[in-house]
Structures are given as C-alpha cells and as structure tokens.
Chains A and B, each alone.
Chain A
Amino acid sequence: MSDEPFDKEEFVAYFRDEAEELLQQIDGDLLRLEEFVDSGQADPEIVNSLFRALHTIKGSSGMLGFTEVQGLAHKLENLCDLLRKERMPLSEGSVEFLFSGRDFLTDLVQAAIGQSAPPSGLNEFTGRLDQFVAIYNETSNVIEGKAPDRGEGGSPAGSEPMNEAEIAAFEAEIERMLAEAAATATPAAPVVPAESAPAPAAAKPAPARGNGESADAKKGAAQGKRSSLAQTIRVDIDRLDALLNLVGELVINRTRISDIATTLGRLMGDRALNASIGLIGPLSKDLADSAALLARTTNEIQESIMKVRMVPIGQVFDRFPRTVRDVAKARGKEVQLQISGADTDLDKTIVDEVGEPLMHLLRNCVDHGIEAPDERERQGKPRMGTIALNAYHEGNQIIIEISDDGGGINLDKVRAKAIKNGLIGTEDRLTDRELIELIFTPGFSTAEEVSDVSGRGVGMDVVKRNITKLKGIFDVDSAPGQGTRFTIKLPLTLAIIQALLVRVVDELYAIPLDSVIESQRVEMPDVRTVHGSEVITLRGQVVPLLRIADFFELGGERDPEKVMIVIVGLQGRQVGLVVDSFEGEQEIVIKPLSDVVGRIPGISGATILGNGSISLIIDVHSLVSDAYAGGKVTRAEFSGV
C-alpha cells in the first residue's frame, strides 16, 4: 500500500548526526556574529548561514515529528530572518537569545532522540523570546506572523507549530497568489495548479496517521529504544573506495591461491607424479608469493579499516571556543583560544571519550590559569590571556597540548594544601615534579573558593583517570608566572596495538609496546631486596620488580641465576616485570574480556595470535599502580634508598 507509514526510526540516527553538526556550526557562526555586535550590523553571510542551519533542523525535525525541536528552531529561524532582513538590529540581546536558544535546541534534540530528559525552563525562555521578537515582528510580514500569538496562548512552547489546517491554508494562499499572478501576466511555463481541491482532501486522512505515528514514536522512546541507537560515523568516501579496492585485490588473490592449490592437488594425485615433480617447485614458489601478497593486502585492509574509524579531532575542538567564551565571560576574564591541528585524525572511540577531559582542562585554564585582566596588566602581560590547543601525530600516538600564559601552578599553595590535607608531612621535601603530581590526588584543589565554573567536584584526578582509561598519558608542566601546559598522549586506536609477547610458566602474555621502555636480562646478584621487595638499579634509578608468575599465582620455578625483565613505565614511574622469556613483537587485535569472566586485576583483555592460541594482555597501568600503591614500595621508602 502506498500509505504505509514509513519507518522513522531508521532516520533518527541521521537526524542526530546532522543536528549535532549543524548545532556545532551554529555555535561557530554565533561566536563570529558576536564580534559584530559593536557595529550593530550583522555580516549577512553569517546570518544566512545561521538561518539555513536552523531551517534545516526545523525541516528535518518536522519530518520526524519532533515538534518541540521544530518549534524552537522555527522561532530562532524567525529571529535570524529579522536580522537578515535588517528589521532587527544586531545587539547583545539578540545574540544572547540565539546562544541560549541554540543550547535549548541542543537539549531538545537530545530529548527527542531519547538521550536525556527535556530541558527545564524552556517555556520561560520561549516566552521571553516571543516577547522580544514580537516588537520587531509587528511591523513586518515575516516567516509566520502567528508565532507570537501562539506563545501567548499558553500552549506548550513550540508544540505543533504547523498543523494540517495551517499547511492547507498556506497552500491555499499560494494557489491564490499564483492565480493572481496568472491573471496579470502570462507565466513562462504552464503551471500545474498544485492540487487546489485535492490538497485538503489528501491532507485529511493524514492527521490520524500522523497521531498514530507520533504515539508509536513516544512508545519507542519510553522503552528506551532510541537510546540504544547504533553509533554512526560519516566517512570520507575516498577512504571507503580505497578499502573496496583492497578487498577487490584480496578476492582476486584468493582465487589465484585456490587455483594453484587445486593444480597442486591434482599433481599430487597423479600417478605420473615422478614425471611432473619438476613442476611442483615453481608452483610452490607461486603459492608462497601469492600468500605473501595476500598477507600484504590483508595488512593494508586492516590499516584502511582503521582509517575508516578515524575522524578529525576537530569534531571535539569545535565546541571549545564557545566554552572558553562562556567561562571567560562568567569570570570576567579576557581569553583567546588558539586552535591548531584540528584536522589530526584519531579513532572515533577515542574522540568521543576525550572531549570531557579536554573541556575540563580548558575550563581549568580559564578559571585558575589565566589571571584577571588588571592583574595581567600589572605583571606586564597583555590583558587578554591566550590558551593554545594543539594536536599532532607523533609515531603511533596523538599528542594534544593545552597551554596557557597564566600564572602557572602555585607550588607553595599546593604544598600548603597537601600538608593541610595530610597528604604530606611538614618535613617532607618534595621536588617540584612530585608537588605537581599531588594535584592528581582525588579532591585536591588549590582554588581558594570553589567556583561554579571548574569547581564542580570533578578534579584533575578524574581527568587523569579518564585519560589513563584510554591508555593515554597525562602530563603537566608549569612555570610560575609564565603558565601551565597539559600534555596528553593517546594511542591512535584502541583496537590494534603493537605488543611484546612474553612467556611466563607456559603462558604467553602480551605487553602493550607503548609502555615498554626496554627489556633486559639481569643477574641475580644485581637484584637487591629493599623492605621485602625486589628492586634493581637502572642507570641510577631504583626500579621495583614484579614477578608476573607470583602476581597471577602461576607457581613455576625461579631461575636462581638471572631474571628476564621487561621495564615498563607510566608517567615517569617504572616497574620491572619479571618473565621467563621474550617471544618477540607482534601486532595484536584487542578483544575485551567478556562479562562472564569479569574484571581481572592485571589483565586488560585478550588477543588471538596467528597460530590460533589465546594470549592475555597485561594491564600495565594496574600493575604499575599496584607495585607502587600496593604498599610494597612507597615513595618514602624510595627516597630513602
């Protein structure tokens, strides 16, 4: 049947992606627009871009029956239309309405796709917006003159701004205008009257169907169906084409290999094998070549697929200018954000996770790093502080740096706070580095008063934990009076890593290579025991040892003469993992352990090796933390060695 309701669910994911992209664009446009406020005259190009983005959101949400989104987008579009027709001056007020409206729109989109509760305060906002717009609306015939009436009518904000009757009226109006135009002039082409009578008739059955659908949609949302939407990413078509080409080669090669194998098999079965034996040599060579090629193509496919998962980190960066603006405004500071390396590619999974920590660091820079303008002036700095956000690739990692030219971390304050919190004693002498490390302690903050901006109970410890969860490294540098630099190193992808394979009592373990510093053989006499723990001295630094066999309670015998050690390091802390033998490096695909197995301390996942056997992946982070924090070796004992 032609009137079967179409499945809206399948479009919701597209809607979400598109809306997110557009809301981001709107944010950027608004930030640029704000610069024109002083002149009172908007750049028409920016306003048009805003108008189109809102118009698109309105159209798409309308098709999906997200009437609240549609309604608000419509109101904001209306405001933009007034700006663009210069019926309303560009003012701080109008920009602020657009900013807030954009935020409400974001919340409404989230609510529509079932990811969050509807925002509160929306009715109050649309009420104010309607009043604001009404002043300018009265004198003009804008998109829809009835908008203010509806707001005052007390109906829920933006609900069903366009019902069937209104559409019919709108279409009738066009018919009338067309007829009028036809009467006064001869149209260039014959005009098919667009359903003068059929229009309302065709529209009639629609409301019933429309209601049915939206009821279904609501049911779906209630069941939480939408929140389990598949994650989609839009992919550059060139990358997919490259992937398809490679798959094509693979298929060809596979056919070739099976042909060779068939021929070889026939020869083997041949009774005249002796006569043919001369042919088998070259054939095996062919097979070997083919197999090598197959392996190479497969590797390239693997890389291509990895690239398909890669997205520019700029997706995350895009929302930061707005955040920095808002925080700076709230704290009375002047800050400019310089972004570079936004096109640096990173695995989609990591991109999604890294946004929050970065956002927190940026807030922190504005709130605690950059000084107030007057204070900066006293110190001979420009009134406007600068925060630089930079991303680039280095080897198999991506480096993200956030630096500010603010006051730096006040180490005296850190020390005082740490003493007050009982983290260190008054006598303890800590290096600057160790003092900085203290800010990662849960609940630690040197800010005198908890501001509503960055003091949200989320401290640097959470940032560090999140980065560590992504197998990343988080570092802080600070120079008093000159600023602070946060450095985050992240793996390009979480799915495939280089690993060092080691053997411990008949088991193969994989140690992620990015945390391996070196591996070496140490004679037993060089292993000392400090406070019951084995340590070695490596280039003047004391490194605690951790016997994998003991940690996993594997038993096995100890070699009385020597130990094989893999030195792993995390954030400047090193641990020597004692293994039985090194089995070489290999690229491995990480498979998470299933829920059935649960979380095993010291194991981060498993991988399947080329020969089909399974190897567990060592969780270096937890082993290092364990070696240090597990009570075996403490910082104090170390400084005493």
Chain B
Amino acid sequence: MSKKVLIVDDAVVMRMMIKGILSKHGYEVVGEAQNGVEAVDKYKQLQPDLVTMDMVMPEMDGITAVRQIMAMDPNAKIIMCTSMGQQALVVEAIQAGAKSFITKPFQPPKILETISKVLA
C-alpha cells in the first residue's frame, strides 16, 4: 500500500509542487493543511504515515504543530520544510521530534530521498 502523506504549507504553490512530486512517485497525498492548527486537526483525522511541515505559517507555526502532533503520536514522522537562515528553528523542530528537514528551494530528488530515508 502506498504511504499516506499530509502536506502542510501556507503557500498554494508549495503544496501543489510537493503534491505533484509525491503523487508521481507512488505516495498518496491524503490531505493538505495551510497552517499549524489545520495540520494538527488533519493529522488526528487522517493518521498519515508522513507529514511535510512548513515552518512559517499563520495561526500556528510549524514547530508548535510538531510539538502538538508528537504529543498525540510519538511515532509521527515529520519532515520540516525550511528556508535558509532558519537554522536555529530547524534545530528546535528536530529536538521537538521532527525526523529530518529539506531546504527550499529543493529539487524533486532531494525531497524523495529524504522521505524514503525517514520512512525506511
């Protein structure tokens, strides 16, 4: 069975792109969320195998969402989507339980590689 992925990002373009890349390579994108609050709700509802999580979002930022999801499901697999300059935040997110990160702008092979590692 293909792995279920939840994409969290406030940018439509980013969600569409990640979705496009993942769908083409056998992942099932079961949901999208555009802020941390939605992310936590949809995680509860959809129980995905993997989450790609943006850091900077309205309502609730990515790190807070990671904390809440990890509290709900300590086995959650979350990959942070980060931009340059946010090193301290990335470290914080990983300490909060995120499994890995990718740096925007990324190339398709990079995100696929990171995901398969985290899911392995």
Contact = CB atoms under 8 A, between A and B. Distances in A.
A189 B13 contact: no
A178 B91 contact: yes
Interface string A9-25: 01100110110000000
A195 to B, nearest CB: 7
B72 interface: no
B83 A166 contact: no
A6 B85 contact: no
Interface string A445-471: 000000000000000000000000000
A524 interface: no
Interface stretch (A121-129, A202-210, A358-366): A202-210
A162 B103 CA distance: 10
B91 A162 contact: no
Contacts of B86: 143
Interface string B51-91: 00010111000000000001000100000000111111011
Given A3-B108, A202-B110, A206-B107, A174 B85 contact: no
A56 B62 CA distance: 14
Nearest to B94: A191
Contacts of B25: 2
A493 interface: no
A295 interface: no
Given A52-B58, A181-B95, A192-B100, A63 B109 contact: no
Interface string B97-116: 10111011111111011100
Nearest to B91: A177
A59 interface: yes
A13 to B, nearest CB: 10
Nearest to B15: A14
A3 B109 contact: yes
Query: Which of A49, A63, A177 has most B Cβ within 10 Å?
Result: A63
Interface string A48-77: 010110011011101111000010000000
Contact of A11 (B13, B84, B105, B112): B13
Contacts of B87: 170, 173-174, 177
B96 interface: yes
A187 interface: yes
A176 B19 CA distance: 31
Contacts of A6: 17, 20-21, 24, 108
B11 interface: yes
Interface in B32-67: 54, 56-58
A188 B13 contact: no
A288 B10 CA distance: 51
B104 A63 contact: yes
Contacts of B70: 189
B100 A194 contact: yes
Contacts of A55: 56, 83
A187 B95 contact: yes
A456 B105 CA distance: 42
B97 A15 contact: no
A356 interface: no
A142 interface: yes
A62 B101 contact: no
B101 to A, nearest CB: 6
B96 A56 contact: no
Interface in A463-520: none
Query: Which of B17, B54, B70 has most A Cβ within 10 Å?
Result: B17
A60 B14 contact: yes
Contacts of B91: 174, 177-178, 181
A6 B109 CA distance: 11
Interface in A175-220: 177-178, 181, 187-189, 191-192, 194-195, 198, 202-203, 205-206, 209-210
A209 B100 CA distance: 24
B95 to A, nearest CB: 6
Given A167-B103, A194-B114, A143 B10 contact: no
11 contacts: A6-B20, A6-B24, A55-B56, A56-B11, A60-B12, A60-B14, A63-B106, A143-B86, A170-B85, A188-B95, A194-B114
Interface of A: 2-6, 10-11, 14-15, 17-18, 49, 51-52, 55-56, 58-60, 62-65, 70, 142-144, 162, 166-167, 170-171, 173-174, 177-178, 181, 187-189, 191-192, 194-195, 198, 202-203, 205-206, 209-210
Sort A-B residue pairs by CB-CB distance and give the 6 closest, nearest first.
Answer: A143-B85, A62-B105, A60-B13, A56-B11, A194-B100, A206-B107
